[in-house]
A and B are shown apart, each in its own frame.
Chain A
Amino acid sequence: MTTAPPLVRVNAVKKHYPVTKGLILQRTIGQVKAVDGISFEIPEGQTYSLVGESGCGKTTTSRMILMVEPPTEGEVYFEGQSIQNFSGADQKNFRASVQAVFQDPWSSLNPRVKVNSIISEPITAHRRATKQEIKSEVNELLSVVGLHPLHGDRYPHEFSGGQRQRIAIARALSSRPKLIVLDEPVSALDVSIRAQILNLLKGLQKQYNLSFLLIAHNLATVRYMSHKVGVMYLGKIVEEAEPGALFTNPMHPYTKALISASLPAHPRRQREEIVLTGEVPSPLNPPSGCSFHPRCPFVMDICPTQDPDYREAEPGHKVSCHLYT
């Protein structure tokens, strides 16, 4: 097996937001540790998923990879190069190579612009192309995502949710990206449409050798889409494995709780309940030691004092928990 460098490598990245007090003399009174030292890789042509509850840092992580925000510490590498050092032409190239599709296709498309222009905007921004080339490329993109070229002359409000998400995907594809960040791409869509969009995305991944960073909280969707899954809790990845291993043999107690809370696909397959006590603590003041210890049903003496190492417990299955050290 050849090990080509991964398309994206996230190395010990932190994002801390200062909390200030006072109007004139702004004193920093604390740090919100939105992302607190995470590392993972997204290989070419594969899907890496981040799961976890609201506020765990999934979206902040994706914003750093999209170069919307710089990390406080650590580096994000794209094709082996640190994206923080990109400027000028490199940066422009990078921005064409990473695109995003968001949850809500009602607010992510400009209502005053025709679909043709929505899709062609990234083309004109990143490349020289004649009008004829743009036109044929837009038409091709429309048919790639399952729409008709005539749809290009309409406005977003004339489409249903699923069709709008197709438009958003066509726009993301138009700059010929290598990585697409999918932030809850189907959770705002009707149930009967979700499978269509998921299958479309899977097909496009094969066709263009795309990498996806998928952020979702429906674990079944994640299992269907991913090659690797990272479970986040309070700004850290607490477990990472291939979806089959993660969902049939979860190790971290938090992963187990997340799985037990997800709804069954059949009434005969009710899940064993793992009830977590308390609420997710504030990232402003995370608990000492393992940040999950106040809610963990398997808490031990060592947990409040020492942060567990993030280590490979089984081949390809990493976990950060004292139960496995």
Chain B
Amino acid sequence: MQEEPILKVENLQTYFFTTSGMIKAVDDISFSLWPGETLGIVGESGSGKSMTAWSILGLVPKPAGRIVGGRILYRGENLLEKSASQMREIRGRHICMVMQDPLTSLNPVFTVGDQIIETLKIDSSRTSGGHRERAVELLSSVQIPAPESRMEGFQHQMSGGMRQRVVGAIAISRSPQILIADEPTTSLDATIQLQYLKMLKDIQTQTGAAIIFITHDFGIVARMCDRVAVMYAGKMVEQAQVLQLFDSPAHPYTEALLKSVPDLDVDVDFLPSIEGQPPTLDDLPEGCAFAPRCPYVFEKCEEYPDEFTVEPEHTARCWRLGGAVV
């Protein structure tokens, strides 16, 4: 790709300072997002994937959480140097978060129209009549039938699929360049989830926005993403194009995780599982955080692994790739 990345995260460190010690929620991660692409950030709870998203949006919970190092470059400008009001301008207009669960992301006491207009009002160049018109336009662009009359409706009068589309309409109301889709761990019904994924793809084709999926589900990555980054215990352990990752995972964690997911298309008698638990962040091992659960562990793993390039656009942090031991 020749163009510049739209978002570039460099050595980001988001730490939490608690009475029981310092927690490195996001520790020295770097990645780029290109215009119009879909990037998946995969990890388990506590891996730092959501905190990465919040760091980009400038929403790290204060005062315990702080970004202590690194840069987040949006079109070449460092977001960490922006003031609170500048960040508010960036959220919504440039970078926007879409929640997967429509039940909890709409306000039950305001009409759907009011909630869309609310986001439009931030942009003062339009009259209130103009806002209304634009809101109806947005509703029809996410395929809501009879958008005029739906403007006056409340969320409880709509079905789950329709609410999702309203959330989508709000997300694209100010034509953001980047959409961050954060997915809760408890899953939705498959058909509802598919509708949501398809809506995001539609939005992407319409607006050309880049999407970051924050997920624990490799199925979403396989279905939706162009590239993928795998996080474990606050670190980014592997980055690759989606096919590269599924065909030849380089990090033992990715490899084991992919093998442990049951497959709907074939009969399996036994799933190889990853033994042990994900580490707690206040008690991380010195070197590679996956070492205690890794089947290939050797002495070198006591040191924090370098990032090795496996093939073009495919990197992983594992000493096995350094050629030291086969």
A247 touches B271 (CB 8 A): no
Instruction: Given A192-B257, A263-B219, decide whether A220 and B263 contact each other with a Cβ distance below 8 A.
Output: yes
Q: Which of B190, B262, B264 has the most CB of A within 10 A?
A: B264
- Which parts of A247-294 form the interface with B (CB within 8 Å)? 247-248, 257-259, 261-270, 276, 279
* Also in contact, A191 and B271, with CB within 8 A (given A224-B262, A257-B191, A263-B222): no
**Stretch in A16-24, A110-118, A194-202, A316-324 with 4+ CB within 8 Å of B:** A194-202
**Interface set, chain B 249-286, CB cutoff 8 A to A:** 256-257, 260-265, 267-268, 270-275, 277-278
> Contact: A191 with B260, CB < 8 Å?
yes
Contact between chains at A267 and B191 (CB < 8 Å)? no
Residue in A191, A258, A268 whose beta carbon sits within 8 Å of that of B216 in the complex: A191
Residue from A163, A190, A268, A269 with most neighbouring chain B CB atoms (10 Å): A190
Q: Which of B45, B189, B265 contacts A217 (CB 8 A)?
A: B189
Q: Top 10 nearest A-B pairs by Cβ distance?
A: A263-B219, A195-B273, A195-B260, A220-B262, A224-B262, A261-B190, A190-B44, A220-B264, A261-B194, A53-B189
Let me know if A264 and B185 touch, CB within 8 A.
no
User: Which one of B191, B257, B275 lies within 8 Å of A53 (CB-CB)?
Assistant: B191
Residues of A within 8 A of B37 (CB): none
Decide if A198 touches B222 in the complex (CB within 8 Å): no
- A221 and B262: CB pair below 8 A? yes
Given A192-B44, A258-B191: 16 more A-B contacts, CB < 8 Å: A53-B189, A191-B261, A192-B278, A194-B273, A195-B273, A198-B262, A218-B187, A220-B262, A223-B263, A247-B265, A248-B265, A261-B190, A263-B223, A269-B222, A270-B223, A279-B159
A-B contact pairs, 15 of them (CB 8 A): A53-B190, A160-B278, A190-B44, A190-B216, A191-B44, A192-B257, A195-B261, A196-B274, A196-B275, A223-B263, A258-B190, A262-B190, A262-B264, A263-B190, A276-B191
Given contacts A198-B262, A258-B191, A264-B223, contact A191 B257 (CB under 8 A): yes
Q: How far in angstroms is the closest Cβ of chain A from B192?
A: 8
Q: Nearest Cβ distance between residue A188 and chain B, in whole angstroms?
A: 6
Chain B residues near A220 (CB-CB < 8 A): 261-264
Of the listed residues B185, B191, B222, the one surrounded by the most CB atoms of chain A closer than 10 A to its CB is B191
B interface, size bucket: 35 or more
Measured CB to CB, the closest approach of chain B to A277, in angstroms, equals 11
Inter-chain contact A196/B273, CB cutoff 8 Å: yes
A223 touches B185 (CB 8 A): no
Provide the bound-state CA to CA distance between A266 and B249, in Å: 12
Query: Which of B187, B189, B216 has the largest count of A CB atoms less than 10 A from its CB?
Result: B189
Contact B261 A265 (CB under 8 A): yes
Q: Does B242 sit at the interface, judged by CB under 8 A?
A: yes
Q: Which of A162, A188, A198, A219 contacts B271 (CB 8 A)?
A: A198
Which residues of the other chain, B, contact A276 by a CB distance below 8 angstroms? 191
A residues less than 8 Å from B70 (CB atoms)? none
A187 contacts B by Cβ under 8 Å:
yes
Contacting residues of chain A (202-260) with chain B, CB-CB under 8 angstroms: 217-221, 223-224, 243-244, 247-248, 257-259
Q: B187, A195: Cβ atoms under 8 Å?
A: no
How close is B295's CB to chain A, nearest CB, in angstroms? 13
Chain A neighbourhood of B159, CB < 8 A: 279
Q: Which residue of B lies closest to A190 (CB)?
A: B44
Residues of the B chain whose Cβ atoms lie less than 8 Å from the Cβ of A261: 190-191, 193-194
Does A193 sit within 8 A of B, measured CB to CB? yes
SS class, residues of chain B in contact with chain A: loop
- Cβ of A54 within 8 Å of any chain B Cβ, yes or no, is yes
* Cα separation A310 to B217 with both chains bound (whole Å): 35
Q: How far is the CA of A247 from the CA of B266 in the complex (A)?
A: 9
Tally inter-chain residue pairs, CB-CB below 8 A: 121
With A and B bound together, what is the CA distance between A187 and B246 in angstroms? 22
How far does the alpha carbon of A160 sit from the alpha carbon of B278 in the complex, in Å?
9
Question: How near does chain B come to A105, taking the closest CB pair, in angstroms?
Answer: 13
- In the complex, A190→B233 CA distance in Å? 13
**Does B287 lie at the interface of the complex (its beta carbon under 8 Å from any beta carbon of A)?**
no
Tell me the bound Cα distance from A163 to B276 in angstroms: 10
Q: Is the CB of A279 within 8 A of B265?
A: no
Contact partners of B219 in chain A: CB under 8 A? 262-265
State whether B273 touches A217 (Cβ < 8 A).
no
**Chain B residues, Cβ within 8 Å of A221:** 262
Which residue from chain A places its CB closest to the CB of B192 in the assembled complex? A53
Interface assignment of B243: CB less than 8 Å from any CB of chain A:
yes
Chain B window 147-172, contacts with chain A (Cβ cutoff 8 Å), 1 for yes, 0 for no: 00000000000011100000000000
Contacting pair A219 B256 (CB below 8 A): no
Asked whether, in the complex, the Cβ of A192 is within 8 Å of the Cβ of B189, the reply is: no
Which residues does chain B contribute within 8 Å of A266, judged by CB atoms? 222, 246
**A265-B222, A266-B222, A266-B246 given; A219·B264 CB < 8 A:** yes
CA distance A63 to B120 in the complex (A): 48
Q: Mark B201-231, 1 if CB is under 8 A from A, else 0.
A: 0000000000000001111111100000000
Contact indicator per residue, chain A 69-95, by CB within 8 Å of chain B (1) or not (0): 000000000000000000000000000
Does B186 make an interface contact (CB < 8 A)?
A: yes
A268 to B223: give the CA distance in the assembly, Å: 9
The answer on a CB contact under 8 Å between A195 and B242 is no
Cα distance A221–B274 when bound, in Å? Answer: 16
CB atoms of A162 and B277 under 8 A apart = yes
B302 nearest CB across to chain A (Å): 22
| Residue of A whose beta carbon sits closest to that of B197 | A263
Question: Are B217 and A223 closer than 8 Å at their CB atoms?
Answer: no
| Neighbouring A residues of B243 by C-beta, 8 Å | 267-268
- Cross-chain contact A188 with B278 (CB below 8 angstroms): no
**Is A187's CB under 8 angstroms from B257's CB?**
no
**B278 to A265, Cβ gap below 8 A?**
no
Complex Cα spacing A187 to B186, Å: 6
Contact B185 A188 (CB under 8 A): yes
Assess whether B217 is in contact with A191, with CB atoms less than 8 Å apart. yes
A216 vs chain B, min Cβ distance (A) = 10
Least Cβ–Cβ distance between A257 and chain B, in angstroms: 7
